[in-house]
Amino acid sequence: MTQDLSSLIALGLFLLYALALSCVYRVLLTYRTAPGAIAWIMGLIGAPYVAVPLFLLFGRNRFTGYVRARRTGDQSLQPLFDRFESQPNTVLSPGDGEFSDDLKVFSRLARQPFTAGNHCTVLKDGEATFQALFDAMEKASHYILLEFYIIRSDRVGQRIKSILKRKLADGVKVWFLYDDIGSFSLSSKYLKELVAAGAQVASFGDGNVRRRRFQINFRNHRKLLICDGTVGFVGGINLGDEYLGTAMGQEPWRDTHCQIQGPAVLGLQLAWLEDWNWASNELPQLDWPLDAHPAGDQEALILPTGPADPHETCTLFFLNCINNARERVWIASPYFVPDLQIINALELAALRGVDVRILIPEKSDNQLIRMAAYSYLVQASRAGIGIYQYQQGFMHQKVVLVDDRYAAIGTANLDNRSMRLNFEITALSTAAAFVQDVDTMLTNDLQECRLMTARDYRDRSLLFRISCRAVRLLAPLL
């Protein structure tokens, strides 16, 4: 080996370890959990040639660009927040008086109040959801705001584009926001057609194109549609044929969305405005009909969560639901990889006599997450937590039901990505009719489920059990 080559190798190693140490420095300044920090530090020092690229892809745990944009944008949005909080429909003591403090926590996390005068409708499958979306867009007279994690160019996507182009021709304004990772297959032709028709189009990334190429965390996992500030939609359904059971080679998907009419729609609009401001650096002038006639008699709250929040808002949402349940807490999530504090909270709830049920899919679009879920079965069975596998296709809904007091439909899963990395959003209502609809829906889903037991894990091969435990170690990346 020549001296020049030796010097070059030495320089490369020096630079690699210098970069590794800078990553360690960042870990020490920003880590949220000690086990995760220790794992990163050991990897960065012991195998920097592997860990450094992984850290650049997955290691950042704060969406600093969005935080800066939020602070700037919120200066303009603050008057809207103030108007929203002081409107006649604001509810200061939501739900049952005995448990009102539990619900006030959600308001503080959301930075939004509960509002009265809403009507929330459970949309129990893709067909019902898409029909409601299409109808609302057709009736829009001023503007349409879309924000979806996945938008495809298939039949559903083409129908959406057709309606938007027609509404644009009628003078309705359209803002179209998509996630550039979730919608990676969306064709440039699709987007160019919308832009040519007059739509404002933006993608949700990291603001810096060069840096975004090397960072796949911090996805905008929200699925929203708002029309004229009076009707809005939120839930687990993206814009694709798979939700109709018509996508080639796909199992039928079971998912849930929620339609909202009333003042809570403006909570969705505030969340959308923050996201649009980050993606495009502009705040559109929209209608804010705060004094509009109530659409119903239901209390509701919109809870946006994400890595730009000062707290781990999504984690605290689930913990508050679980810790304050008195009779039952039922959670449907396609991705079940809870961290220690969530699984401990579920255990404590079950041990104090709460009916704890977790609905997960038997068939999944992520086999690693499916395997990780098996590793919790012994612990869950011992505590009395019921884990139910949905048998009729892929269950993708994200739903929470607490006692007979409130129910929530949104985009957040019981996994690390939703808790700490993704931008999510949830609609929560205390209305008896809404809670009953969710109860009936989940009860019907449970009839299509199989209760899993510890034997589902123990009776499998040693290789399978070791693989499940090994995959569980990757939970922060799943």
Burial class for 110, CB neighbours closer than 10 Å (0-12, 13-18, 19+): buried
Active site residue 398: yes
* Neighbouring residues of 420: CB distance < 8 A, sequence distance ≥ 6: 32, 61, 307, 312, 314, 315
β-bridge pairing 200-204 and 173-179: parallel
> How far is it, in rounded angstroms, from Cα 342 to Cα 340?
6
Q: Which of 106, 207, 176, 119 has the alpha carbon at shortest distance from 425? A: 106
Angle at 295 between CA 292 and CA 296, to 5 degrees: 135
The dihedral over CA atoms of 289, 290, 293, 296, expressed in degrees to the nearest 10, equals 110
Tokens 């935080």 label which residue?
Answer: 67
> How far is it, in rounded angstroms, from Cα 49 to Cα 116?
56
Active site residue 206: no
How many other β-carbons are positioned within 10 Å of the β-carbon of residue 6? 10
Displacement of CA 51 from its chain's centroid (Å): 27
Tokens 């929209």 label which residue?
Answer: 286
H or E element in which residue 426 lies: strand 424-429
Burial class for 17, CB neighbours closer than 10 Å (0-12, 13-18, 19+): middle
> How far is it, in rounded angstroms, from Cα 218 to Cα 305?
12
H or E element in which residue 366 lies: none
**Paired tokens of 64:** 């600093």
Q: Which of 89, 92, 143 has the alpha carbon at shortest distance from 118? A: 89
Active site residue 221: yes
How many other β-carbons are positioned within 10 Å of the β-carbon of residue 391? 13
Amino acid sitting at position 249: G
Choosing from 119, 167, 257, 398, which is the catalytic residue?
Answer: 398
Backbone angles phi, psi at 358, to 5 degrees: -115, 120
Choosing from 223, 255, 275, 437, which is the catalytic residue?
Answer: 223
Active site residue 228: yes
> How far is it, in rounded angstroms, from Cα 381 to Cα 376?
9
Choosing from 403, 415, 437, 445, which is the catalytic residue?
Answer: 403
Active site residue 223: yes
Active site residue 102: no
Choosing from 102, 125, 206, 228, which is the catalytic residue?
Answer: 228
Catalytically active residues are 221, 223, 228, 396, 398, 403
